Structure 1
């Protein structure tokens, strides 16, 4: 998992807080400061593994959705993303605009990647912009699978016109 700076600060704060609490409570051998710190580090690692699993699952699902597109052509240059925002449920969103330059109505499958400020992948989704009329544009909204913290940037991973 790629942690951002905020995640690292939180992990350090939890570890220090638990270590400090253990020291103040006059611990037995089972709850020594080093034992508590070790348990806190294990908990943080477990959370990291869960997040890594969530990203892997989202990436696999995005791949399956793109694989379902039949006779798709690369349309990455025909797609643009708006400014990322956070919805009322705390999930990251971004408006996806697809420009159809073809002579007939087409749909677009767009993989949107949500990344942290360092460029590390946080989540990925596929959104469909359906039945875009010939020589017109249409929009859809991509929404992350879960809440994302920190500054979130978005990029187009893959875009297919079909």
Structure 2
């Protein structure tokens, strides 16, 4: 038996697909397809908040430099205000790295609910539903590989044996 994918709730092997304790033998699965749900506004708002947090220090530094020039103070005061503003902008570099990492992960997870469906024993069955696009893609591809490698049952008829056509994902 070959394992194509395995996590806490999903296992794809050369024999079966197991999702949340339910097992679907590959020989009983027909066509496999996926559906995309509507966008999650919560995820998009979170991305916008991260973008605003990234732009905040830059805006603060620019405003500080503009304020320093606008106040028309002595050269020392102007340089001090501008320098402090630039240091604030530079000081958030490590924070910006963390925010960029969160932003990158949000794109990897996606902003839609994704569902995997299959025809099982003649009926459409939802196999999986997740909002994690990266995980969904890994599972979907594992199911494709497993079904491509699964031996196709032979149908014995009056003219001899011939492979039964199967629908692939």
- Give your verdict on TM over 0.5: no
TM-score norm. by structure 1 comes to 0.32
Return the TM-score normalized by structure 2: 0.31
The structure whose residues are more often strand, as a share, is 1
From the two aligned structures, give the one with the greater helix fraction: 2
Point out the structure with max Rg over C-alpha.
2
